[in-house]
Chains A and B, each alone.
Chain A
């Protein structure tokens, strides 16, 4: 698989503060990556370094197996960092023409990309007259002008209203479905969970986890159960070797699995014991729960 970006032992210090600490990860073609982490965990700094706007203190990074210089590699990358930055006095078209000149690509895709983000009608309005949502969508159009090998988005929905957030997510999903590699930095977990296949989790500049979203947590999920025969159920579960922990909350019993077991199997064996369920759900921990447990574990 083609390597798009590799980061090795990257460290960035701002005076005494270490924003990024010995960070290493790889970005491979075709996957959708999320960089997760609370505010101030070094997400934007890391992206700033690989995008040539922040100087690294130590460590290495290379684009496309290190075959090109960083600024030439960036011509094959589409990136939006924090706020959309354009020339306020220029129209959408003029701004995008400028980007085409910088990226050395032809201008024929401008209209197509404006159409994709729904800004074609406002193409001749000055950038300063745009709402924040429109500015962010123009930034996405601009990042797509070169049909990039990888699209990097840093907090793309920050500060947007629900409608704006929805529009941006739809666009990201559309792009992801076309097979573009995406690197999405966010502190919004559901956002990452909805689109990403891989995650890198950062806290205070250190990597806590990197890998597939679904193998992030070694647990096998848990059952949520309800029954009128609660005592019998709890007793059965506690004696069962497949369960690690049983939690009771009013009528709801939550049983955490130690090993793989399907809902069907549990249901049948409970039925055979004469325990009848009114509610049975098998769930994996959400990314949010996994993330919180991961960041909490490490802080102790």
Chain B
């Protein structure tokens, strides 16, 4: 396992573009803390994010993992190209000839995905913890360490998403096209949902089916956190609309995302096994 990770590390770290993107990604993750510094001061309208309660425990776990998940696109580029480049440089062929088995090849990529996800999760945990300790109105241990399922959900979300990237990289073999395909797929999911709800079934059934789609299942892991904010809730109350919704991380959501991860990794292996290089 260590050997496989070392192999991937040599491949990635010596590639300048990958190195820059990886560093940029982790720098951006750290920059989430800068949200704390955002202050609007428009005369009567004063706005300071840190004072709106977004850094309150345990809400911060939800908010930060939701925001941080957007940056995953940087790593997606790295992961898609680390797979697709093996095809365009034909190094995949040489790797196999040199004695890497096809499973080891896929497994080394998957291990890299796990490591990236784990480091990201650790990063976001530490950054959130520090921000929370600085700004949170509550600091009892019990509250600090509640709602940690968002951290778990974040990890699974990244693993599932990066596994999809791996799969697309090996399916399409070209990084630019694979990324295009990823965007296309996100639109297709919405179109299928639209058509289902509009013509075929009720909107409720369509929403249930939609939650089984790969990208949607990853998105569902961490729902948007904004309507949980007390400020927003207050506005809702004033407008007499109910903004309460189910934001919790459910175990079936985790299961769906894990199932897709397994499908993508096995699919990548099956593709590699079937193809002549």
Contact = CB atoms under 8 A, between A and B. Distances in A.
Interface of A: 14, 48, 51-55, 69-75, 77, 79, 81, 83, 85-90, 94, 97-99, 101-104, 142
The A contact surface, by secondary structure, is mixed
A71 B99 contact: yes
Interface stretch (B8-16, B205-213, B218-226, B240-248): B8-16
A55 B97 contact: no
B7 A101 contact: yes
A55 B101 contact: no
B104 interface: yes
Q: Which of A69, A77, A90, A101 has the most CB of B within 10 A?
A: A101
B14 A85 contact: no
Nearest to A98: B10
Given A86-B94, A87-B11, A98-B11, A55 B276 contact: yes
27 contacts: A14-B276, A53-B276, A54-B276, A54-B277, A55-B276, A70-B101, A71-B96, A71-B99, A71-B101, A74-B98, A75-B98, A79-B97, A83-B90, A85-B89, A85-B90, A85-B93, A86-B94, A87-B91, A88-B89, A89-B14, A90-B15, A94-B14, A98-B11, A99-B98, A101-B6, A102-B99, A103-B98
Contact of A90 (B6, B14, B99, B102): B14
Contacts of B16: 89
B191 interface: no
B3 interface: yes
A86 B85 CA distance: 11
Given A54-B276, A98-B10, A74 B99 contact: yes
Interface of B: 3, 6-7, 10-11, 14-16, 89-91, 93-102, 104, 273-274, 276-277
Nearest to B90: A85
Contacts of B102: 52, 71
A10 to B, nearest CB: 14
A74 B6 contact: no
Contact of B89 (A74, A87, A101): A87
Contacts of A81: 93, 97
Given A52-B102, A86-B94, 18 more contacts: A48-B277, A53-B93, A53-B96, A53-B277, A54-B276, A71-B96, A77-B99, A85-B93, A87-B14, A87-B15, A87-B89, A88-B89, A90-B10, A98-B11, A101-B3, A102-B7, A102-B100, A104-B99
B96 A51 contact: yes
B82 to A, nearest CB: 11
A150 to B, nearest CB: 13
Nearest to B4: A101
Contacts of B3: 101, 104
A74 B93 CA distance: 13
A185 B14 CA distance: 33
Contacts of B104: 71
A132 to B, nearest CB: 15
A33 B236 CA distance: 82
A73 to B, nearest CB: 8
Contact of A71 (B93, B100, B277): B100
B88 to A, nearest CB: 10
A85 B277 CA distance: 13
B169 to A, nearest CB: 16
Most B-side CB within 10 Å, residue of A73, A77, A87:
A87
Leading 7 A-B pairs by shortest Cβ distance: A75-B99, A71-B101, A74-B99, A85-B90, A85-B94, A53-B277, A102-B98
Contact of B97 (A14, A51, A69, A101): A51
A99 B97 CA distance: 10
Contacts of A48: 276-277
Contacts of B91: 85-87
Contacts of A51: 96-97
A94 B91 CA distance: 14
Contacts of A83: 90
A53 B100 CA distance: 11
B262 to A, nearest CB: 23
B52 to A, nearest CB: 46
A83 B277 CA distance: 13
Nearest to A127: B89
A99 to B, nearest CB: 6
A103 B94 CA distance: 11
A111 to B, nearest CB: 18
A86 B11 CA distance: 11
Contacts of A102: 7, 95, 98-100
Nearest to A90: B14
Nearest to B94: A85
A87 B92 CA distance: 10
A104 B7 CA distance: 11
A69 B273 CA distance: 15
Nearest to B104: A71
Contacts of A103: 98-99
Contact of A72 (B15, B96, B99, B274): B99
